[in-house]
Amino acid sequence: MALQPLKEEADPRLTGWENPAKRLRDALDHDHFRLYGQPVMPVREPGEAAFAEVLLRLSEEEERMLPPGDFLPAFEHYGMMAELDRWVLRNALRRLEAGGSLPRLSLNVSSQTLREETFVPFVAVQLRLSGVDPAALVFEIDENDVVDRREACERFAAGVKMLGCGVLLDGFARRSVSFEPLKALVADYVKVDGSIVRAAAVSATAQAKLKAIARVGQVTEVRVVAECVEEEPVRAILAELGVPLMQGFGVARPLPLDALVSGGGAAVSGPGAVPRMRV
């Protein structure tokens, strides 16, 4: 596939690479990426993870790992996000096929992938080839995409759910506490935006939002996840409000996916004990 830059003059500023197009292609063709995972844990009885969100790193020289913020803009710039999402899917399925302690993995879906009608059939083929139970995959769709690209998101969500996979609405209530995006996707999980979760320790408004979301989740049997949990007071508030699941650097830090899935544990730590990291 030929790479067509959207704004050629901006290329060097995206990554600092001399030839970003070639670097991206080499990374895909030669598996220069590494999969990490960040567990989603129960709030009341932290222990075994419910699932883990798959995160991506790019391997550079001297074993340096670049976080997504250093290379995803370039993939978006070249319209290559669907190719990257395919790479992640294939390799996540290989990891699940090998067996391990985690019941499922969640994969983020880019805006470009949501608009590509061939991606869901690709998921079906990869599941069939791997033999992995479709229920072991959850696809994370951002609330902004549901609001801005509702038809594409509904089509994607319906397609993967027909295969037996789960759907998670990410960044929920970032714009407003409207349950329309949740209804549109018929989601299995909803992940409350970190700005609300972080404010819960000091804001009655944030607590009220979390309580309302938790109640709707209980009624609709949608599992609610609070992201960006970093301090003990927030965990205690989540338990009091009835939020069942949480994720954040104060709960479990990202680990290489091989170590996490093969039984290396979720690296659970007391909230506040783990420094914030760039995901």
Burial label, 125 (beta-carbon count in 10 A; 0-12, 13-18, 19+)? exposed
271 and 234 Cβ atoms separated by less than 8 Å: yes
pLDDT per position as a tens digit, 32-76: 999 999 999 999 876 788 999 999 999 876 567 888 888 888 899
The strand pairing partners of 256, in sequence order, are: 36
143 and 171 Cβ atoms separated by less than 8 Å: yes
165 and 185 Cβ atoms separated by less than 8 Å: no
Structural domains in the chain (count): 1
**pTM confidence score:** 0.88
Q: Let me know if residue 254 belongs to a domain.
A: yes
Helix residue ranges, H only, the chain: 11-15, 20-29, 72-77, 81-97, 111-114, 119-130, 143-148, 150-163, 180-185, 194-199, 204-220, 232-241, 257-259
Q: Let me know if residue 2 belongs to a domain.
A: no
pLDDT per position as a tens digit, 121-177: 999 999 999 999 999 999 999 999 998 999 999 999 999 999 999 999 999 988 777
Domain containing 131 — which CATH number? 3.20.20.450
Q: Let me know if residue 215 belongs to a domain.
A: yes
pLDDT per position as a tens digit, 246-258: 999 999 899 999 9
Q: Let me know if residue 231 belongs to a domain.
A: yes
Cα 119 from Cα 69, distance rounded (Å): 24
Q: Let me know if residue 276 belongs to a domain.
A: no
Boundaries of domain holding 120? 19-264
